[in-house]
Amino acid sequence: MNLSSSATTVENVLTKAGVWLQPLLLLAMRLYWGWQFTVTGWSKIAHLTRTAGYFESLGLPLPMVSAVSAGLVECVGGLLLLLGLFSRIASAALVVVMVVAYLTAERMALAGLLGIWGGPEDFVRAGPFLYLLTALIVLAFGPGKLSLDTVIRKKG
């Protein structure tokens, strides 16, 4: 057995392991971060006046409408992500909310990503990062085989 065929064998084994791992990883991400989105969104809705005041301090237009919108998108989008139902639509909406969070509440972290006033580590350490990353992964790869989207697609 030569080095090339050994590398091919290892690659094949890792590919099979990755195919087996993918739905479990996507499920774990959806469950954990879907729940986190839901809790965060519910908190915004439950403390609407405080949330609107914070949004006003960030200079967001129509702070009460913005607070309700962000809270509902996070709460409902998080539940949909958790269930794996309408996952790409929910993920797209959650990406928008997280981008707005970076553009308003995390401007310095966003500037760090662009190499201005800091570095990329500021972007990665910011609160919205893992939420945004999860939403982008589900948007790009779908919810995985262990989701309601997959069950509905198979029946249809």
Tens-digit pLDDT profile for residues 34-78: 999 999 999 999 999 999 999 999 999 999 999 999 999 999 999
Q: What is the pLDDT of residues 83-110, one digit of tens each?
A: 999 999 999 999 999 999 999 999 888 8
pLDDT at residue 112 greater than cutoff 80: no
* Amino acid 52: pLDDT: 98
- Confidence bin at 82 (pLDDT 50/70/90): very high
* Amino acid 1: pLDDT: 57
* Amino acid 121: pLDDT: 86
pLDDT at residue 115 greater than cutoff 70: no
Question: Which DSSP string corresponds to the chain?
Answer: --HHHHHHHHHHHHHHHHHHHHHHHHHHHHHHHHHHHHHHHHHHHHTHHHHHHHHHHTT-SSHHHHHHHHHHHHHHHHHHHHHTSSHHHHHHHHHHHHHHHHHHTTHHHHHHHTTSSS-HHHHHHSTTHHHHHHHHHHHHH-S-SSSHHHHHHHH-
For the chain, the structural domain boundaries read: 22-155
